[in-house]
Amino acid sequence: MNKDSISGIVLAMLGIFVAVYSQQNYSIGTFNVMGPGFFPFYLGIILCFVGLLILITNYSNTNTYKLNYFSLIIVSSSVLTFALLLNIAGLIITTVISVLLSTYASNRYYNFFSRFASSVVITFVTYIIFVQILKMNIPIFPKFL
């Protein structure tokens, strides 16, 4: 199984989940009077068809994809770290820690300076987007400060 086939399966499963979830939890409505579940339901169906199309077109491809478990664990732990630390350490510190941790999953960063520079830039962009532009109520600094 190649990486495109895996992507097709994941997209199809995600599309099915979104369509079923929106149908069970929201009113879909009609084309004339659309309910809150209309867009997610049909988007899920389209996503499922795109995933199946990717799966079918790449089924004959014999290139195999080896999953990098180290990168998967590092990125997953970075997301978990962000979720656990956001309310305790604030957006600034949590984003720096999470980005520093996730950069270890890539071979692109060779030294600590490039990792830290990336984390500072991403933290700045995150702050601008979520705090300044979207006005989200996120703790910026740790609670103990």
- Predicted model pTM: 0.59
How far is it, in rounded angstroms, from Cα 98 to Cα 91?
10
- Strand, coil or helix: 64: coil
Do 44 and 50 touch, CB atoms closer than 8 A? no
Do 77 and 101 touch, CB atoms closer than 8 A? yes
Which of 60-74, 84-98, 101-115 shows the lowest per-residue confidence on average (mean pLDDT)? Answer: 60-74
**Domain boundaries in the chain?**
3-57, 69-133
How far is it, in rounded angstroms, from Cα 46 to Cα 18?
10
Of 10, 36, 31, the closest CA to residue 21 belongs to 36
Do 29 and 38 touch, CB atoms closer than 8 A? yes
pLDDT tens digits for range 21-72: 999 999 988 888 888 889 999 999 999 999 888 888 877 655 666 778 888 8
